[in-house]
A and B are shown apart, each in its own frame.
Chain A
């Protein structure tokens, strides 16, 4: 990629040379331009913009600017000044009238669960209180609002709702990352572990990691002999076998996943068969789907080709003569496999496992369909926060942690094995 070193010590006629050297390069780079533009617009841009949301959240700060200004001098103890009460009342009543307070309340509720009902409930009565005060000709200053708001909801007399407002009003924030790691800000400003009912993300990360590892190993155990058989079959048979691997690969993911439902469900084919041959009773049908088993089985099936294909390419390049030589030199078949064949397939094993593992760690359609509740992975939580709770900040933080984890894994693999040792044939 580096260029232009050569004409640096330049004589006067360097320009045409420089042009001559650059022209073809530019033209070659031009061919890649559509791809670069495509990747930038459809992948890098959205990804960066989403990742930005994990630490930048201006919504509340923009919606309640006066409240935020009034809270800036508050020490976080007791209640803030009358000025803050007046500012929050002014902005709540205005937003309530314009019908956009609900969005702000949702944002604050993410910082402290319960704040939505405090804000929406109070503001409903605050609109009425202001109208009543204006009708009576009474002043609506800070002292008035302090009294009124505390009367409406006694929680305004404590520091908690104010702390929540202040925290939600920070434009740059680490709270999404804290939440994604099951931590929260304690009352004294330090970091403490979240209450036990809210600790869900770290266990889910672990589960995702272990399931992906398990699925990858299962794929390797099942896929290795298959790849070996295809690689060592005569071309005609190899083509047929390869087609058997590729055919499911070309089938829609949804079709393959739902087929497992037909097979594994309580009244499904496998259970029916086991009952028919008398292995289990009709009331002892095995729960093989809508749980972790379902996730494992379906994911292994869906991901198997990603391990078989790289392995197959590498194995085909290994001359059978090596194994013959090893055996003829006195090695048992197992020794020959372990000391001659296996080391030569390692680039394929590495490539296949890395590919399978990275795909598995981001899976969410399959677990969503067949995993039940115990078989859900971290990606299902990301999808939930993108689609249902619309908490994109938290979704972005979870995704960033996942991305960081995969990158770390890649770097570790590179250090230990060397990424150039990966081979696809």
Chain B
């Protein structure tokens, strides 16, 4: 009797320990001293694959430095934690401008000398060749991505939604909505859908009444929302019919369209453009290789490499000319790019300065709203 009790207790304890043990994410690469390597962190899935094909592999071929890929969900939290703990095992991180500006202010990212930026393929000077506001003190611009919403034509068979406001219209388009569990882009979209002209979005957001208005608008769809965390979940939710429409990074929807032949449609009305940058984690012991890597990624060829796998617009004018067709399927890339004029009839460019100053407050307020 006693022994069986002890066995049961033992099983319970062992299982308890196993429950408590969470698998660590983003663990450092093996301690191989001979082989030089760096760890580049981005959003995983089809975007990470585009980066690997587009410039990680050419970088390794050229320098012999291997690139380990780690996934995260965006944000500065892990970078802050690594720097504060003095245990930096990420080297290069894919962030948006507001995040690199904040990380720069906090000293958790390295300053990057603009002199390292390479000239374009025909000797174009970097200061003329990069799109405006692409580079900051700690960030080197690589691409423009867009938050859009998309629907599944097989699920939504009636008259199709065409405007941003349709996303919030549960009467004409009943069904669950997918939304990223983050205030970024959603706040702007909610205000624009509520009739605020895009020029005034950030002014309105800066007032307490404006914030009330945003969350009142979001309240109207709250009980129909399925929240997602990683970019790859958005096309998955759409494919599973779990939601009738979802916000997403435009490249993810593009990849599902061309690689998986999913009947997804992007609504470009009210798209929110943002700038993607690479930044280097402060105090990395592999600083030299990290700088070489960022310098390599800043080449027009590297940006075009990414742009031939996923529909994100390059950060340099000279790279735009190098992008034609999708590398694997031969699909024309430009009709799917967020900066194609046909897709930019009504767009908003993210105000990174506003987000740098208000991002933490918005996250706090958004989290409190979610929890209620």
Which residues of A approach B to under 8 Å, CB–CB?
96, 98-103, 105-106, 109, 113-114, 116-117, 120-121, 197-200, 203-204, 246, 249-250, 253, 265-267, 287, 290, 305-306, 309-310, 312-313, 316-317, 355, 359, 365, 372-373, 376, 381, 384, 387-390, 423-425
Q: Do B361 and A267 have beta carbons less than 8 Å apart?
A: no
Which B residues are CB-close (under 8 A) to A310? 8, 12
Q: Do A102 and B225 have beta carbons less than 8 Å apart?
A: no
Q: Which of B1-19 contact A (CB under 8 A)?
A: 1-2, 4-5, 8-9, 11-12, 15-16, 18-19
Q: Do A197 and B365 have beta carbons less than 8 Å apart?
A: yes
Stretch at the interface among B30-38, B86-94, B102-110, B316-324: B102-110
- Besides A313-B8, A373-B225, 5 other CB < 8 A contacts? A102-B102, A102-B106, A113-B361, A117-B358, A424-B5
Q: Do B19 and A253 have beta carbons less than 8 Å apart?
A: yes
Residue of A102, A267, A287 with most chain B CB atoms under a 10 A cut-off? A102
Q: Do B242 and A120 have beta carbons less than 8 Å apart?
A: no
Which of A198, A265, A316 meets B240, CB within 8 Å?
A265
Which A residues are CB-close (under 8 A) to B209? none
A116 to B364, CA, bound (A): 12
Closest B-chain residue to A306, C-beta based?
B12
Which of B176, B227, B360, B367 meets A384, CB within 8 Å?
B367
Closest B-chain residue to A364, C-beta based?
B22
Which of A120, A290, A355 meets B105, CB within 8 Å?
A120
Q: Is the interface of B mostly helix, strand, loop or mixed?
A: helix
Closest CB of chain A to B155's CB: distance in Å?
Answer: 10
Which A residues are CB-close (under 8 A) to B1? 316-317, 425
Between A and B, 20 residue pairs with Cβ closer than 8 Å are A99-B104, A99-B105, A100-B106, A116-B357, A120-B105, A197-B215, A200-B368, A200-B371, A266-B176, A267-B241, A306-B15, A309-B12, A313-B8, A316-B4, A373-B222, A376-B371, A388-B363, A389-B363, A425-B5, A425-B8
Closest CB of chain A to B361's CB: distance in Å?
Answer: 5
Q: Do A381 and B357 have beta carbons less than 8 Å apart?
A: no
Closest CB of chain B to A199's CB: distance in Å?
Answer: 8
Contacts known (A266-B242, A267-B240, A425-B4); A106 close to B360, Cβ less than 8 A: yes
Closest B-chain residue to A312, C-beta based?
B8
Q: Do A117 and B357 have beta carbons less than 8 Å apart?
A: yes
In the complex, whether B77 has a CB less than 8 A from a CB of chain A is yes
Which A residues are CB-close (under 8 A) to B11? 246, 249, 309
A250 to B103, CA, bound (A): 43
A305 to B15, CA, bound (A): 10
Q: Do A388 and B107 have beta carbons less than 8 Å apart?
A: no
Which B residues are CB-close (under 8 A) to A113? 361, 364-365
Which A residues are CB-close (under 8 A) to B349? none
Which A residues are CB-close (under 8 A) to B75? 388
Which B residues are CB-close (under 8 A) to A204? 371
Which A residues are CB-close (under 8 A) to B116? none
Which B residues are CB-close (under 8 A) to A287? 176
In the complex, whether B80 has a CB less than 8 A from a CB of chain A is yes
Q: Do B227 and A372 have beta carbons less than 8 Å apart?
A: yes
In the complex, whether B372 has a CB less than 8 A from a CB of chain A is yes
Q: Do B372 and A197 have beta carbons less than 8 Å apart?
A: yes
Contacts known (A117-B357, A253-B19, A365-B22); A98 close to B5, Cβ less than 8 A: no
Bitwise, B191-210 to A at CB < 8 A (1) or not (0) is 00000000000000000000
A172 to B191, CA, bound (A): 41
Q: Do B371 and A116 have beta carbons less than 8 Å apart?
A: no
Which B residues are CB-close (under 8 A) to A425? 1-2, 4-5, 8
Q: Do B361 and A114 have beta carbons less than 8 Å apart?
A: yes
Which A residues are CB-close (under 8 A) to B103? 102
A250 to B75, CA, bound (A): 35
Which of A103, A317, A384 meets B106, CB within 8 Å?
A103
Closest A-chain residue to B372, C-beta based?
A200
In the complex, whether B81 has a CB less than 8 A from a CB of chain A is yes
A199 to B226, CA, bound (A): 23
Which B residues are CB-close (under 8 A) to A372? 226-227
Q: Which of B345-372 contact A (CB under 8 A)?
A: 356-358, 360-361, 363-365, 367-372
Q: Do B77 and A388 have beta carbons less than 8 Å apart?
A: yes
Which B residues are CB-close (under 8 A) to A359? 16, 19
Which of A98, A102, A198 meets B368, CB within 8 Å?
A198
Closest B-chain residue to A103, C-beta based?
B106
Closest CB of chain B to A15's CB: distance in Å?
Answer: 39
Contacts known (A100-B106, A388-B75); A290 close to B226, Cβ less than 8 A: yes
